[in-house]
């Protein structure tokens, strides 16, 4: 496995620093499209009440809260390695009246502190591009989901339509860090976010990685001209023997 410590430490510091302004900046930088992307994801999943879910890189818990509201009674866990992000999330969970329904854990997506086959659903929203080893995280997600359960990733992606692609990259690389400096007083952190996308797979490559790690029935949905993408894969059920 590739050495991971330097990236882990750097990304951890980024999110510790931007936690207080994270939600506001998300709304501004995505023009609130991230809310639509989450709604689209929940509609596609068509979840039944009572399901259990683990939300990785849960950050300030928007998706974790949506999962808990949809589940009603199932076990819902949010995991993030940033204490500052979790503290913001804890306040939002309490405000939503879900403190008794959501368990928040500080932990590492590369080594999940959960038993095999524990959850019906494992999600990761806007966090996969920041991990040191994408394949390792997908394998861990697959490990802790039940056979027949689903692994779900909602993430920024790379637009494919050329005129829009050029405009998007100009905004992402030039304007976004300046907005980060102006609004959140964090230029270097918001300069990192565009850089984190450069080496990240596009939606077709990520779908292939889902398959290569053993997931089946993989679905990929580019969103808003391809600037985000939803991926859903199903963990194989054990082969029955007579």
What SS3 string covers 138-197?
HHHHHHHEEEEEEEEEEEECCCCCHHHHHHHHHHHHHHHHHHHHHHHCCHHHHHHHHHHH
Cβ(132)–Cβ(110) below 8 Å: yes
Cβ(78)–Cβ(103) below 8 Å: yes
What is the reported pTM?
Answer: 0.87
Residue 156: CB atoms within 10 A of its CB come to 21
Q: Determine the pLDDT at residue 16.
A: 76
Q: Determine the pLDDT at residue 3.
A: 39
For residue 2, pLDDT beyond 60: no
pLDDT tens digits, 173-218? 777 767 667 766 665 666 777 777 778 999 999 999 999 999 999 9
For residue 25, pLDDT beyond 70: no
Give the separation between CA 76 and CA 226, rounded to whole angstroms. Answer: 29
Give the separation between CA 180 and CA 222, rounded to whole angstroms. Answer: 26
Grouping H, G, I as helix, E, B as strand and the rest as coil, residue 28 is helix
**Residue 237 dihedral angles phi and psi, to the nearest 5°:** -85, 150
Give the separation between CA 193 and CA 50, rounded to whole angstroms. Answer: 35
Radius of gyration of the chain (CA): 17
**β-pair type (228-234, 119-125):** unpaired
User: C-alpha angle 96/101/107, rounded to 5°?
Assistant: 100
Quote the crossing angle between the two packed helices 83-95 and 62-71, to the nearest 10°.
40
pLDDT tier at 4, thresholds 50, 70, 90: very low
The more confidently predicted of residues 113 and 184 is: 113
Q: What is the mean pLDDT of the chain?
A: 87
Residue 181: CB atoms within 10 A of its CB come to 15
Helix (H) or strand (E) holding 93: helix 83-95
Give the separation between CA 121 and CA 50, rounded to whole angstroms. Answer: 11
Q: Which of 54-58, 127-131, 209-213 has the lowest mean pLDDT?
A: 127-131
């Amino acid at each position: 496995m590739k050495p991971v410590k330097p990236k882990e430490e750097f990304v951890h510091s980024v999110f510790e620093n931007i936690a207080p302004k994270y939600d506001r900046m998300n709304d501004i930088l995505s023009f609130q499209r991230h809310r639509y992307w989450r709604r689209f994801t929940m509609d596609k999943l068509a979840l039944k009440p009572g399901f259990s879910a683990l939300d990785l890189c849960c950050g300030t818990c928007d998706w974790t809260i949506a999962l808990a509201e949809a589940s009603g009674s199932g076990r819902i866990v949010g995991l993030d390695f940033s204490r500052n992000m979790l503290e913001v999330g804890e306040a939002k969970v309490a405000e939503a009246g879900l403190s008794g329904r959501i368990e928040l854990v500080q932990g590492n997506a590369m080594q999940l502190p959960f038993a095999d086959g524990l959850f019906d659903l494992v999600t990761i929203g806007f966090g996969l591009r920041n991990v040191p080893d994408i394949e390792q995280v997908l394998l861990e997600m697959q490990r802790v989901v039940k056979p027949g359960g689903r692994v779900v990733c909602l993430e920024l992606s790379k637009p494919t339509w050329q005129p829009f692609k050029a405009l998007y990259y100009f905004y992402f690389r030039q304007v976004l860090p300046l907005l980060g400096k102006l609004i959140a007083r964090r230029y270097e952190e918001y300069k990192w976010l565009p850089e984190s996308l450069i080496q990240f797979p596009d939606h077709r490559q990520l779908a292939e990685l889902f398959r290569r790690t053993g997931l089946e029935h993989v679905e990929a949905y580019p969103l808003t001209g391809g600037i985000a993408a939803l991926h859903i894969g199903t963990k194989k059920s054990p082969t029955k023997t007579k």
